[in-house]
Amino acid sequence: MILMLERWYAFTILLLRRLFRMSSFDELFEWKARTVISIAETLISVSAIALISAAAGSAFLESQAAFVCCGAIVLGVLYWVNGVAERRLVPRFEKEFRGLSKRQRIAATIAITLLLALTTAGVLLSAAAAHKKLVSARGHVALYLVR
């Protein structure tokens, strides 16, 4: 199971690098690929923190400052972890992925792009739901205290 996840992670990085290498004129394609992966993972992580916080009835990410601080810390840690993982995994699987046919690479690129888009949409929707639940719970407490 872990080997499969490592393989998919390396494949995602290689596809993003190839996409950014083709679409830009600078040599920052490795940085851009790591940034996209890190931002997607940060959205998932902060959304999970917000959902757990709302389910527990806590107001951990109630203020914008706490949300931004939490997001920045998570993004920094994940960016560093992704850099370490890339240096370890990409060379190990790169030769295997170079042997894939063009159709397989196109299908995988479409699948990974859809996965990133659906992940981002799901995270934004769940974060909005968690925020709505937290705000409505706080409103009920305020109404109870006013009576």
pLDDT at 80: 93
pTM: 0.70
pLDDT at 145: 42
Helix axes 64-98, 2-23, angle to 10 degrees: 90
pLDDT tens over the chain, length 147 residues:
778 888 888 888 888 888 888 877 778 888 888 998 888 888 888 777 777 777 777 666 667 777 778 888 989 999 999 999 889 988 988 888 888 888 888 888 788 778 778 877 777 777 676 667 666 655 544 444 444
Q: Assign 26 to helix, strand or coil.
A: coil
CB 6 within 8 A of CB 89: yes
Q: Assign 100 to helix, strand or coil.
A: coil
CB 76 within 8 A of CB 35: no
What letter does residue 136 receive in the DSSP assignment? H
pLDDT at 147: 47
pLDDT at 61: 65
CB atoms within 10 A of CB 109: 16
Exposed / middle / buried, residue 71 (Cβ in 10 Å: 0-12, 13-18, 19+): middle
Q: Which residue has the tokens 């596809």?
A: 15
